């Protein structure tokens, strides 16, 4: 029986191990591989021949399902038990680096868009099992916490209900049952709402249909009624609203949509660093239709503003060949720190520092933009990373940002990258062509606020040269310093200094809170008087 599992590669050992386990169980060889079934003692029996046959079958099954580049790991042995252990030691080394990586994967594991709760829980369990095999098990409490940590907003109600459970009930399996039940309820609710909306639209169409009135036969012969061609409403399986499908947009135009939760692209050729994905779908606003996502990549757009080229990177762009238009998510632009304003039929998008990135003009009710897309390809037709050594700005807290901008010909950009050095040095370096990839820059009058703050100096007070008081306690200089990052042994985080202007005597009091200042000042006054 031929196997249909994927070959073992450098990045699929976890899934390959599970598939191989099922395949060996189907061929009645799994107990031999894990060592629970040993060689019979009687050497002249049918059981011995059967054992040796299944042992050879187990080794051949393992060997033939390993890619050719990794078969050299086990080609010098013929024992399936030893081959299985060697593969596990090679792809799952028992090292601290692997345990740290698995721990990071566990706490950063998030539910994907449109992913089912059961699939998400299975991914968490897979990481937990690997940590358990490595000798670093994750407690039940952390597993339950990670399961409800990154759930979508529609699960907020059930999460608040789970928070009120006792510690004995706060278990992974029980929480998973509640979440699966809530997921089924939400799917049924969405289905009922779609059916209700469709029924109401049919009722409105029926109510608007004019009733035929009887006319004399002569009237019917002489005057033929003009009938308008009415467009039949299509089923909810259409992708975009019918009014938008008939508009004259350019195929490569991008629509700025403030309701879109992600960037979407309908052409694979526009994506850089393309990564195929599986089991990922998105929901369309029209009729609740779901669309499969085939991959994720980056789209690099180039705009021209006042003679300067502005480069905008859209990260985590979802690719679906069934889409008819490309969408730019306005919500992700806002999350990245950029702003946009709508005025006189156009939307202007600005970066954090206030300069304009691009303009989307209104066309038939939608705001469209036509950028130049930079796509690099190698000889095999695959997307490769560009040669430009650009870094993204406008970063947000997540590891992978969804919107980033930079201007390659802007002196401010290179001034920020080169640790705010003098702009004259940067211009001279660009003219001498000392740095590869540095364009020829020209002098521009700009004000760098971080440089002003970092290089500014506090203006010192001029010395008076005389004592302004005529007796002790007539004039006091007091200062409160703190809080300090390190707490003293007695728990003190501040200290109060009091200097008498006449005698120049300095007295200090360590204090724990700011509210103790008046108490210490009163003690100082009583003591001095």
Task: Give 229's pLDDT tier (boundaries 50, 70, 90).
Answer: very low
Give the pLDDT of residue 238.
34
The per-residue pLDDT for range 276-304, each reduced to its tens digit, is 887 777 766 544 567 788 888 888 888 87
**pLDDT value of residue 395:** 32
Inter-axis angle of helices 46-64 and 80-91, nearest 10? 30
Region 244-256: mean pLDDT is 60
Residue 483: asked if its preceding bond is cis (omega within 30°), the reply is yes
Q: What is the mean pLDDT of residues 194-208?
A: 54
Given a cut of 60, is residue 231 above it in pLDDT? no
121 by Cβ neighbours in 10 Å (0-12 / 13-18 / 19+) ranks as buried
Mean pLDDT (whole number) for 510-517: 90
pLDDT bucket at 526, cuts 50 / 70 / 90: confident
Mean pLDDT within 17-34: 88
pLDDT band at 217 (very low <50, low <70, confident <90, very high): very low
Give tens-digit pLDDT for 42-90: 766 788 888 888 888 888 888 888 888 888 888 888 888 888 888 888 8
The pLDDT, as a whole number, for residue 283 is: 67
- Of all residues in the chain, what percent carry a pLDDT higher than 90? 5
Give the DSSP letter of residue 8: B
To which H or E segment does residue 290 belong? Answer: strand 290-292
pLDDT mean over 186-197: 76
> Helix, strand, coil % (nearest 5) of the chain?
35, 20, 45
Strand partners, 498: 478, 507
The pLDDT of 391-410, averaged and rounded, is 44
Rounded to an integer, the average pLDDT of 115-131 is 88
Q: What percent of the chain has pLDDT over 70?
A: 80
CA dist 527 and 13 (Å) reads 77
| Dist. CA 403–CA 401, nearest whole Å | 6
Residue 330 has pLDDT above 80, yes or no: yes
The answer to whether residue 254 scores a pLDDT higher than 60 is: yes
When mean pLDDT is compared across 20-29, 304-313, 422-431, 501-510, the lowest value belongs to 304-313
CA dihedral 340, 341, 346, 350 (to 10 degrees): -40
Residue 406 DSSP class: E
Higher pLDDT, 189 or 461: 189
pLDDT of residue 450: 81
Query: First CA to last CA across the chain, in angstroms?
Result: 102
Q: Taking the domains of the chain in order of start, what are their residue ranges?
A: 12-91, 96-186, 254-375+397-404, 411-455, 476-528
What is the C-alpha to C-alpha distance for residues 73 and 304, in angstroms, rounded to an integer?
A: 55
Measured distance CA(325)–CA(329) in Å, rounded: 13
Q: How far apart are CA 428 and CA 430, in angstroms?
A: 5
pTM: 0.33
DSSP one-letter string for 363-389: ETTEEEE-PEEE--B-TTS-B---S--
Residue 164 has pLDDT above 90, yes or no: no
Lowest mean pLDDT, pick from 200-214, 306-320, 390-404: 390-404
Q: Which runs of consecutive H residues, i.e. helices, occur in 212-321?
A: 217-222, 242-245
The CATH number of domain 254-375+397-404 is 2.170.120: no
Residue 433 has pLDDT above 90, yes or no: no
Rounded to the nearest integer, the mean pLDDT of the chain is: 77
Quote the tokens at residue 347.
Answer: 């939307």
Residue 140 in tokens: 């039940």
Strand pairing report for 264-265 and 308-319? parallel
Mean pLDDT across 408-435 = 83
* pLDDT band, very low/low/confident/very high, at 400 (cuts 50, 70, 90): very low
Asked if 29 and 54 touch (Cβ cutoff 8 Å), the reply is yes
């Amino acid at each position: 029986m031929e196997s249909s599992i994927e070959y073992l590669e450098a990045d699929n050992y976890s899934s390959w191990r599970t598939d191989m386990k099922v395949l060996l169980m189907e061929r009645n060889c799994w107990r031999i591989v894990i060592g629970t079934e040993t060689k019979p003692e009687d050497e002249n029996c049918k059981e011995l021949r059967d054992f040796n046959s299944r042992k050879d079958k187990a080794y051949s099954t393992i060997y033939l399902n390993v890619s050719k580049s990794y078969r050299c790991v086990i080609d010098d042995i013929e024992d399936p038990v030893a081959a299985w252990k060697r593969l596990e030691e090679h792809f799952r080394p028992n090292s601290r680096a692997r345990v740290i990586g698995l721990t990071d994967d566990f706490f950063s594991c998030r539910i994907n868009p449109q992913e089912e709760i059961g699939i998400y829980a299975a991914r968490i369990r897979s990481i937990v099992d690997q940590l358990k095999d490595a000798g670093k098990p994750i407690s039940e409490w952390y597993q339950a916490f990670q399961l409800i940590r990154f759930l979508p907003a529609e699960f907020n109600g059930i999460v608040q209900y789970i928070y009120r459970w006792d510690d004995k009930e706060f278990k992974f399996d029980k929480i998973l049952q509640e979440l699966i039940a809530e997921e089924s309820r939400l799917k049924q609710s969405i289905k009922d709402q779609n059916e209700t909306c469709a029924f109401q639209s049919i009722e409105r169409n029926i109510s608007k249909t004019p009733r035929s009135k009887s006319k004399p036969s002569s009237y019917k012969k002489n005057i033929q009624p003009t009938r308008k061609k009415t467009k039949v409403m299509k089923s909810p399986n259409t992708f975009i609203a019918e009014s938008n499908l008939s508009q004259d947009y350019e195929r490569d135009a991008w629509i700025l949509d403030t309701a879109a939760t992600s960037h979407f692209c309908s052409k694979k050729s526009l994506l850089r660093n393309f990564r195929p994905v599986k089991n990922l779908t998105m929901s369309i606003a029209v009729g609740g239709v779901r669309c499969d996502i085939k991959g994720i990549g980056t789209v690099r757009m180039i705009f021209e503003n006042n003679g300067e080229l502005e480069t905008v990177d859209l990260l985590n762009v979802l690719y679906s060949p069934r889409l008819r238009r490309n969408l730019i998510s306005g919500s992700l632009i806002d999350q990245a720190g950029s702003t946009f304003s709508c005025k006189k039929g156009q939307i202007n998008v600005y970066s954090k520092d206030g300069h304009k990135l691009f303009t989307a003009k209104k066309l038939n009710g939608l705001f469209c933009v036509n950028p130049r897309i930079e796509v690099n390809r190698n000889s095999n037709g695959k997307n490769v990373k560009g040669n430009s050594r650009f870094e993204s700005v406008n970063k947000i807290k997540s590891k992978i940002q969804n919107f980033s901008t930079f201007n390659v010909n802007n002196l401010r950009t290179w001034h920020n990258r080169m640790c705010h050095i003098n702009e004259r040095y940067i211009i001279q370096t660009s003219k001498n062509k000392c740095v590869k990839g540095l364009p020829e820059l020209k002098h521009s009058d700009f004000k760098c606020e971080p440089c002003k703050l970092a290089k500014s100096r506090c203006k010192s007070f001029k010395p008076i040269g005389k004592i302004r008081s005529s007796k002790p306690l007539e004039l006091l200089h007091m200062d409160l310093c703190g809080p300090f990052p390190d707490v003293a042994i007695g728990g003190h985080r501040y200290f109060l200094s009091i200097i008498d202007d006449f005698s120049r005597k300095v007295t200090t009091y360590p204090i724990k809170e700011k509210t103790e200042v008046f108490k210490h000042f009163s003690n100082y006054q009583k003591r001095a008087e």
